[in-house]
Amino acid sequence: MKKIKQISICLLLLASISSIGQTMTSGVVKYKMTSDNEQMAMMGDIIMTNYFDKDNVAVEVDMMGGMVLTKVYKKINEPNSTKMTMDAMGNKYEITEIDENASKGVDMADLDNIVSVTLDKKDTKEIAGYKCYKASVTYKEDKTGEFYVTDNIQMMNSTKENKLKGFPLEMTIVTPQATLNLIATEVSKDLPKEAFIVPEGFEKVTMEEFQEKMGG
């Protein structure tokens, strides 16, 4: 259980995500996630789903065929609004008092830590029905990214200067701990009404209490 908790939080922090020709400003983007990290590979297929509109964003990570489901909720212009839920084989917790660094894990592509972006609009591919072009990213930390982005999806972000202009439908993020790859498998404008609502039945705990319950 402790290992599951560590992997779920790690994934959220690493990931720090219609018709062609129309700009999509709210909806759902679903990714399949793979990694060369041995512990993550043991979790089987990992699905990450990004929900967004002009005021909210939520990121959900589904592991072990739905047996472990972690979700982070955040109001875009309210950093202290971040909440996280975890349903691990029937153990349901809503974690509050999440610190500022952890809350950045809900921002797709870790936008706040990008140092530079180099675009290559000649290097293109179609992903989930959208034409994308390559964006090579460097970060403040020891991390790099190779993205394929589209200009036809726009997610709001509170960052004053967003160096990554396009929306990533494929991301390869390289860190000292692991290489993480996400590729969009589904893009939809049909945003569920409950996308940003924490469901009933979760025990409210602080992060410290949550870590104790999950084995430290």
Element (H, E) at 100: helix 100-103
Task: Please write the tens of the pLDDT for every residue from 127-140.
Answer: 999 999 999 999 88
Residues 12 and 98: their CA atoms lie apart, in Å, by 13
Residues 24 and 166: their CA atoms lie apart, in Å, by 12
Strand partners, 57: 52, 74
* Residue boundaries of the structural domains of the chain: 2-213
Structural tokens at position 144? 């790099």
The three-state secondary structure class of 206 is strand
pLDDT score for 66: 77
Task: Please write the tens of the pLDDT for every residue from 191-214.
Answer: 999 999 999 999 998 878 887 776
Q: What is the pTM of this model?
A: 0.81
Question: 163 with 156: CB under 8 angstroms?
Answer: no
- Low-confidence residues of the chain: pLDDT under 50: 2, 4-7, 9-10, 12-21, 102-106, 158-160
Residues 8 and 12: their CA atoms lie apart, in Å, by 6
Which amino acid would we find at residue 91?
N
In this structure, CATH architecture of domain 2-213? Clam (2.50)
